[in-house]
Amino acid sequence: MKIRCLTPNFKYGTGGNLVTSQRWRGLLKAMGHDFQITSDPKPVACDLLIALHARKNAVGIRRMAKQFPHVPIVVVLTGTDLYQDIVGNQAAQHSLDLAKRLVVLQPFGMHALTDEYQQKTVTILQSAKPPAVFCKPLKHNFEVTVVGNLRTVKDPFRTAMASRLLPDASRIVVTHIGAALTPSMNTRANREELINSRYTWRGSLTRHLTLKAIARSRVLVVSSKMEGGANVISEAIVAGTPVLSTHISGSLGMLGKDYPGYFPIGDTVALAALLWQAETNTIFYKQLHDYCLKRAKMFHPDKERNSLKQLLADLGLA
């Protein structure tokens, strides 16, 4: 079967949408399907169109539905789709109407949809593989890692700002991985390195180096204002790295409502307190670690593979 996957800015992308589409390509090709990733909205004959992002792929979705109305369309809803665009953006709403199936990447995503859309929506948790070899943490520092391109929605410097509030006795250092997508973000990251001795910005790294950094870290911080279901959370969980996250739907759906590592959006003081607690309170750190460990099985590749198989079966394409 020929599957076409619309992924925004595919040729230049390094973000979560690209990670998801590349992982799905591996899983679906292993099932014997032809899987092409593209950003080109031009309609092309295929057996299935998957679109990651309702608004950004609205043109491609609309053209495909018009020229090949018999081809089923699956729209994977991102954080900005769920918690921003579908509320008032007509193009995004139209994409949902044209889709045969909608996919959310964590169960709490359903809450953002009306009953009409929920009826054609499935949840597919994003899987991750544990590191092939043990990554030894830094010996003299308590490394905290932030992973994600430098975008306003990610609130990318919140962890760096929190680290400035830590007491002198703290051994916390912040490693920031992600590309600066604007000159102003580039300037801000460089300035933060100059004024904050705890902070290092490594820019965009390869997938291998990024996963190695996550596995080596004592803690991963997700400071986003919204997420559809962050790949980095599943990657951290299977690597045995505890997560501290903003109290947002996308993280609640992956970590659970009762997870103890949440802080309010934009709350630098609360994040600093959690970082200090994770560094100095072994009971709290073990609680975070054990909680993540129990959820690791949710993100096994076999589960995602089976979910994709079921999606194809639901569409009559098995």
Instruction: Label residue 156 by pLDDT band (50, 70, 90).
Output: very high
Distance CA 31, CA 138 (A): 40
One of 3.40.1390.10, 3.40.50.2000, 2.40.30.30, 3.30.2010.10 is the CATH number of 2-126+300-314, namely 3.40.50.2000
Count CB-CB contacts under 10 A for residue 212.
17
Quick check: 260 and 287 in contact, CB under 8 A? Answer: yes
Q: What is the pLDDT averaged over residues 34-48?
A: 95
Higher pLDDT: 17 or 308? It is 308
CATH number of 142-299: 3.40.50.2000
- What's residue 13's pLDDT? 56
Q: Is the pLDDT of residue 37 over 60?
A: yes
Q: What is residue 10's predicted lDDT score, i.e. its pLDDT?
A: 60
d(CA 10, CA 17): 9
CA 243/CA 288 separation, integer angstroms: 7
Give CA separation, 84 vs 81, 89, 129, 312, 315, in Å. Answer: 6, 8, 31, 28, 28
- 269 pLDDT more than 70: yes
Which residues make Cβ contacts (< 8 Å) with residue 300, sequence separation at least 6?
Answer: 127, 238
CA 45 to chain centre: 30
* H/E element, 229: none
Helix, coil or strand: residue 286: helix
CATH 3.40.50.2000 domain residues, the chain: 2-126+300-314, 142-299
* pLDDT, average across residues 29-57: 95
Q: Are strands 219-222 and 142-147 parallel, antiparallel or unpaired?
A: parallel
pLDDT at residue number 86 = 84
Angstrom distance (rounded) from CA 230 to CA 254: 9
Q: What is the mean pLDDT of the chain?
A: 94
pTM: 0.92
The pLDDT of residue 50? 98
User: Residue range 195-214: average pLDDT?
Assistant: 95
